Amino acid sequence: MLGRMGTAGLLVIALTACGGGGGAAPTGGKAAPPAQTTPAQSPSQDPVERALSKLRVEEKVGQLFMPVLYGTAADTVSGENQARYGAQTPAKVIAKYHLGGVILFPHNVKGVDQVVGLTNGLQRASKEVPLLVGTDQENGLVSRMSALMTDFPGASQIGATKDPDLSRAVAKATGAELRALGVNLDFAPVADVNVNPSNPVIGPRAFGDDPGRVATMVAAAVKGFGDAKVAATAKHFPGHGDTDVDSHTGLPVIKHTKAEWEKIDAPPFKAAIEAGVDAVMSAHIVFPKLDPSGDPATLSKPILTGLLRQKLGFTGVISTDALNMAGVRKKYDDGEIAVRAVLAGADLLLMPNDLPKAYQAVLAAVKSGRISQQRLNESVTRLLTLKQANGLLTKAPAASAEEAAGVLRSAEHRKLAAQVNRAAH
């Protein structure tokens, strides 16, 4: 997600997040393909296929959504939840919409025991399938869990070290701390190449302005998150590095030619895919040379399906950037945005501006045939496969506050942060 963290009003922060797989089963990330069927193993024995077969269409649609919820515990009564979702507590919102995931923000974070209790409570509230619990922990400028976690340097400082081993080590340590808190998906690393000094929203969040170095650092970070068994998300596809417009407040236009995209923007995403990245986040940017329709990449089938899936061969989860951002809401209403994102190739619908409207619109599109059952099943299968790859389907996840206390801000992690800071100068 593109995000700038101010101190005035957590609601504003929560509503401007931006981090933040074709075919029925992904192989492009840690997510493994479904097990091969043999005479001794029927398809029903595969955890992904078994989980999919148990879901009603309403539950399948719910798997696509990852909103922000309000409260520091699963049973916290919040007027914000009631106003936005028609249910008072996070647990009731999860149950009402059969959510596939939840994203955490600073207003959800008060302490280690509290966050562990929150994530465990959210998981208990998800009766059908365990949740993806995500956050934007890029380190540096965008660090939603900074109140509890090691203060690692951001991507630009890591890039300045020119050492991919440090990129991998920081991602592994970040992933370990997130997993200890019950977070299993990070909307990181940033794979944008920051070639525009006037860029208001990427800047030091990128590993640098050299496509080759950024690609190397991104690939290493993806492997580091994999070491920690936390899903990684490369963002913001097809590349948000050359813009002077913030997609939270406007709709940027990238004027690169196809050849320039291949040379500048594509290498880090290619490297992330080769490294096994679990998810790729779309950007709310118009890229006329890749799709002349004027629609942002999030709603573009030529970009998400044509480029990302077919040309680059990515078979993992495609996540939208936050759907409440101005960059994606210029042309269509909140229901139509969600439907068009799915039709474009997205699997995970992040932070819709109006969840009830978006959920009902996607459900109606499935029932009318505008979104085919096959298309819905492809997305749900990719999401379930990601969950299975991170151990969420075979055993319901449960974090431990005692274990977290030994991992968060450990001496080893603080030493690593200091090492990166020294190497960057």
Strand pairing category for 142-143 and 137-139: antiparallel
Q: Which two tokens stand for residue 151?
A: 């203060």
∠ CA 365-366-372 to the nearest 5 degrees? 115
Q: Which residues pair with 142 in a beta bridge?
A: 139
The per-residue b/e assignment along 326-352, b for 16 or more CB within 10 angstroms, e otherwise, is ebbbeeeebbebbbbbbbbbbbbbbbb
Residue holding tokens 């919102």?
93
Cβ distance 383 to 318 under 8 Å?
A: no
The one catalytic residue in 136, 192, 321, 347 is 321
CA–CA separation, 326 and 323 (whole Å): 8
Residue 421 class from Cβ within 10 Å (0-12 exposed, 13-18 middle, 19+ buried)? middle
CA–CA separation, 418 and 425 (whole Å): 11
Nearest to 345 by CA among 268, 282, 271: 282
Q: Which helix (H) or strand (E) holds 280?
A: strand 279-282
Collapse the DSSP code of 232 into the 3-class scheme (helix H, G, I; strand E, B; otherwise coil) and give the result: strand
Residue holding tokens 């932070």?
351
284 is catalytic: no
∠ CA 289-291-318 to the nearest 5 degrees? 120
425 is catalytic: no
CA gyration radius, the chain: 20
Collapse the DSSP code of 384 into the 3-class scheme (helix H, G, I; strand E, B; otherwise coil) and give the result: helix
Q: Which residues pair with 319 in a beta bridge?
A: 281, 348
Q: Which helix (H) or strand (E) holds 358?
A: helix 355-368
Residue 117 class from Cβ within 10 Å (0-12 exposed, 13-18 middle, 19+ buried)? middle
The one catalytic residue in 248, 256, 284, 413 is 248
Q: Which residues pair with 66 in a beta bridge?
A: 350
* Residues carrying an active site annotation: 248, 321
